[in-house]
Amino acid sequence: MAFESDRPLEHLGVAATPTTAGPGLSDGMRARILLADDDDNVRDLLRRLLALQGWDVVAARNGREAVDAWPEEGTPFDLVILDMSMPVMSGPAAYEELRRRHAGMVVLFISGYLEEASGRDLILKGKVPFLAKPFTPQQLVATATALLAHARQREGSLGLHRMRSLVCAAANAVS
């Protein structure tokens, strides 16, 4: 995978414009992705690649910026992509802090190597999916699409449960 951010993405086999809108949310909004990678070229390329899919992408240079980009009462992200090895705050450390605030978040770790024991444990235990660098644009898009679909499905089943609860409560109030 070339990490030259000044070249158009077509040379990577990615369409210049999305053929369909990226997976949206149940409320019709576009999916929001929080991306953190300390390498400027990689971060810019991944941000552009994800944006081409029709997704809104907020990019951070390290884990601390990622955590700051999503305060407790902030607009939710549908997917968080964290490089594992970053200065200031690593991906696994950012994951732990974000998880305390947003327990149901969907996360993808990316890295060229598994250096930090806590991140390695999360991956090996199946708690966080992992995509090894270098990966192709198609691998990233396919992985992000699958994770967003899983999140929407989970959100939909929770929404259905809430709707049933509201219907039951309304029925009980009427009777």
Provide the 3-class DSSP secondary structure of residue 11. helix
The token pair at 74 is 């902030």
Q: Name the packing angle between helices 137-174 and 40-52 (round to 10°).
A: 60
Largest CA distance in the chain: 66
Task: Classify each residue of 81-98 as buried b or exposed e, where b means 16 or more C-beta atoms within 10 Å of its C-beta.
Answer: bbbbbbeebbbbbbbbbb
Taking only the tens of pLDDT, the chain with its 175 residues reads 333 334 444 434 444 333 334 444 444 458 999 999 999 999 999 999 999 999 999 999 999 999 999 988 878 899 999 999 999 999 999 999 999 999 888 999 998 876 655 566 666 566 688 898 999 999 999 999 999 998 887 766 544 333 334 333 444 444 4
All domains in the chain, ordered by first residue: 9-174 (3.40.50.2300)
